[in-house]
Amino acid sequence: TALEAPLKALGDLLAGQGQRFAIVVVGGAALNLLGLVKRTTLDVDVLALGDPDSPDPGAELVPARQLPAELAAAGARVARDFGLDPRWLNCKVAEHGSVSFPEGMASRLQWRSYGGLTVGLVERRDLVCYKLHAAADRDSGSVHYQDLLALQPSEAELERAAEWARAQDPSAGFAEVLAGVLEHVKRDSR
């Protein structure tokens, strides 16, 4: 995908500086790198940070509210080199408040190594959770809604995702919007 080259360059740059990081990626970048959707994205949403020196980098994930300074600086250099948006590598997902991880997500991450950068990709069933939650925050024409449809979630996956989304925002207003999104997904995926 279009993201492989910038991620490799970032990993090589970090390795050359003696730096190592483990990040967990969600959203369009994860969908693309896993081959689940074909749309182009040059935006890498970092959900969490892991331990790059552990045999299991996802064993103790920490929500990524902010990128470590060295990683942010290397990301900015890669952005310049590749002509990318300066915030191509970002923590927008975690910046939106306290979003927990779906149960068992860490054990399902698919890890890839790019030199000094280890990237954990959020697995499909967990992406259904995040995309449903994001779609409920937007309209049915949003890229999140379209991504959710592309994932072709089963009824059971949608129910699991809805349960997780309701735990993130237990307000009555969100529950109402979520119910509407679920109706649309069931209708549009027939």
> 24 and 117: one domain?
yes
> 142 and 109: one domain?
no
> 89 and 149: one domain?
no
Q: Is the dihedral of CA 27, 30, 31, 32 positive or negative?
A: positive
Q: Which domain holds residue 143?
A: 127-188
> 21 and 53: one domain?
yes
> 67 and 134: one domain?
no
pLDDT for the residue 137? 76
pLDDT for the residue 94? 77
> 143 and 104: one domain?
no
pLDDT for the residue 90? 96
pLDDT for the residue 10? 99
> 15 and 103: one domain?
yes
Distance CA 139, CA 134 (A): 9
> 131 and 96: one domain?
no
100-150 pLDDT per residue, tens: 899 999 999 999 999 999 999 999 999 999 999 999 976 656 899 999 999
> 50 and 100: one domain?
yes
> 114 and 158: one domain?
no
Nearest residue to 131 via CA among 89, 160, 104? 160
Number of domains, the chain: 2
**Which of 107, 122, 137 is a domain's end point?**
122
Mean pLDDT by runs of 10 across the 190 residues of the chain is 94 98 96 91 94 93 95 98 97 76 96 98 96 81 88 95 95 94 89
pLDDT for the residue 183? 93
**Which of 122, 148, 175 is a domain's end point?**
122
Mean pLDDT for the chain overall: 93
Distance CA 155, CA 132 (A): 13
Question: Do the beta carbons of residue 16 and residue 63 sit within 8 Å?
Answer: no
Q: Give me 136's structure tokens.
A: 């409920």
pLDDT for the residue 93? 85
**Which of 71, 105, 122 is a domain's end point?**
122
> 117 and 132: one domain?
no
> 106 and 141: one domain?
no
